[in-house]
Structure 1
Amino acid sequence: MKKFVLVTGASGGIGKATAIELAKKGWNLYLHYNRNTVAIKQLLNELEPYNVELIPIQADLSTDEGIEKLINNIFHIHAICYVSGISYYGLFIDTTDDILEKMWKVHVFAPMKIIKELLPKLMRNSSSQIVLVSSIWGQTGASCEVAYSTVKGAQLAFVKALSKEVARNGVRINAVAPGAVDTNMLAMFSKEEQQELKDEIPIGRLACPDEVASVNSFLLSEKSSYITGQVLSVNGGWYT
């Protein structure tokens, strides 16, 4: 039987790397994206040699309509890797209600709604897996990233709670908590600021998207068959 995985945020750095890693393992892919049509077309071209089924789905997960659109385009499903995310850097006192609502929608409401609606399909399988890509800031919190830290922390609480509820149904759910990853999310910082960041990390560099993708792939495989409700840190020793 063909195995299908939904990768949200597939046009971003970690999402793209995860899609490639899973295609190498023979997964058929639902590839979610929002605005970056160019990136998703490039990804489809890169995935073509792997001879797997590729189903791109455009949807804005900051809206109810976008969430429903994604759910309604998922048929056979064996795994979910929720990578979608948006960042905001600034003082909490200056954070607008619109930003707070959008952060909550994309990082918390959307994955909860998508997973809730797709759980019946996941439970039809002998085993299914879910991975949420959270953040180091969901574990420890960050000044000037209060909203982001809050929603990422909520993702971790969701994973820990749901894992206890669905384990007997053959569904495992885990989270990955990357530290600083070399993606467009860090583009707002200057080279000097990025170097200061690297100097804080014991390994002395940023993570590559592939390094996060390999952990996602592991948690979606049967090699992690006795792991559920866990948070795997991929942060170069930055937070332990």
Structure 2
Amino acid sequence: MGCDGRVALVTGASGGIGAAISWALHRAGARVALGYHRSYERAAAVHERIVADGGEALLCRADLTDAEAAYELVRQVEGEYGRIDILVNNAGARCEGLLIDTPIDEFDRLFALHMRAPFICSQAALPGMMRRMFGRVINIVSIWGQVGAANEVAYSAVKAGLIGFTKALAKEVGSAGITVNAVSPGVIVTDMLDGFDRSELEELRAATPVMRLGKPEDVARVVAFLADDAAGFITGQIVGVDGGFAT
């Protein structure tokens, strides 16, 4: 399997996409550290599923809006497993509303979670990757970071920032055997869509060229490929998993 013997840290592992990514990396042969904040029951269910399948997983609670907690998360995983080979910066949250109505503390929270936490986790994990001359950093971004979305300006902005971070870091660490890529999901069926009614979901489906909404597994398969040794010549890329929505 493509990730045999590797150690992966997945932030936001309790959510739909994060859970699917964690499972896919386990199936590819990795030991998986499951980062979560509030959703212990959901994270524990992912852990239980992996262990029941003969895998190895570690539950790691961290509030990634806290800078020190983000550093400590990486230290915890390295302390338990001795290394991090694959870092998936997936933790995130939405913020809907007009820019003029968005409180600055809400923007600060989004920035801390979507930009500062990936920055810190990458910064903390990179020294070990550089010593071993191998690493995979995979950032989960969004189509809104590429094309923008009205009523989600703050969210679009921080995701666009993470896209820029991905491209710049890829250039900085490529010579150390580390690839840095982003996966950009489109409309994926997770609890983030709970606020949409049936007609709104139908509009989103109709706007997607393949005429269906995405599944977490669609995203997870791409992440698992980018984590694989076979993807070693792919870096600095923003891989859309959106059914053509952002085309």
Normalised by the length of structure 2, the TM-score is 0.94
SS at 1:108 equivalent = helix
C-alpha contact 1:174 1:231 (8 A) present in aligned 2: yes
Match of 2:64 in 1: 61
SS at 1:74 equivalent = helix
Q: Deviation string for 1:189-223 (max 9, x for gaps)?
A: 11221111111111111100000000000101012
**What one-letter code is carried by the residue in structure 2 that aligns with 1:79?**
I
1:86 corresponds to 2:96: no
Q: How does 1:214-225 map to 2 (within 5 A)?
A: 214-225=221-232
C-alpha contact 1:26 1:50 (8 A) present in aligned 2: no
Normalised by the length of structure 1, the TM-score is 0.97
Q: How does 1:1-240 map to 2 (within 5 A)?
A: 2-75=5-78, 76-240=83-247
Deviation at 1:139, TM superposition (A): 0.7
C-alpha contact 1:15 1:83 (8 A) present in aligned 2: yes
Structure 2 Cα separation of the partners of residues 79 and 214 of structure 1: 15
SS at 1:77 equivalent = coil
Q: Which runs of 5+ in 1 are unaligned?
A: none
Q: Which runs of 5+ in 2 are unaligned?
A: none
SS at 2:34 equivalent = strand
How many residue pairs match? The answer is 240
Q: Deviation string for 1:105-127 (max 9, x for gaps)?
A: 00000100110111101112232
SS at 1:143 equivalent = coil
Structure 2 Cα separation of the partners of residues 131 and 50 of structure 1: 25
C-alpha contact 2:67 2:120 (8 A) present in aligned 1: no
Runs of 4+ aligned residues of structure 1 deviating over 6 Å after TM superposition are none
**What one-letter code is carried by the residue in structure 2 that aligns with 1:36?**
S
SS at 1:73 equivalent = helix
Q: Percent identity?
A: 37
Structure 2 Cα separation of the partners of residues 174 and 214 of structure 1: 14
Deviation at 1:51, TM superposition (A): 2.3
SS at 1:189 equivalent = coil
Q: Select between 154-163 and 48-57 the one with higher mean Cα deviation.
A: 48-57
C-alpha contact 2:11 2:34 (8 A) present in aligned 1: yes
C-alpha contact 2:133 2:177 (8 A) present in aligned 1: yes
Deviation at 1:66, TM superposition (A): 2.4
Structure 2 Cα separation of the partners of residues 97 and 68 of structure 1: 24
SS at 2:35 equivalent = strand
Deviation at 1:3, TM superposition (A): 1.5
**What one-letter code is carried by the residue in structure 2 that aligns with 1:59?**
A
C-alpha contact 1:23 1:50 (8 A) present in aligned 2: no
Q: Deviation string for 1:18-64 (max 9, x for gaps)?
A: 11111111100111001001101111111113323211100111122
**What one-letter code is carried by the residue in structure 2 that aligns with 1:136?**
I
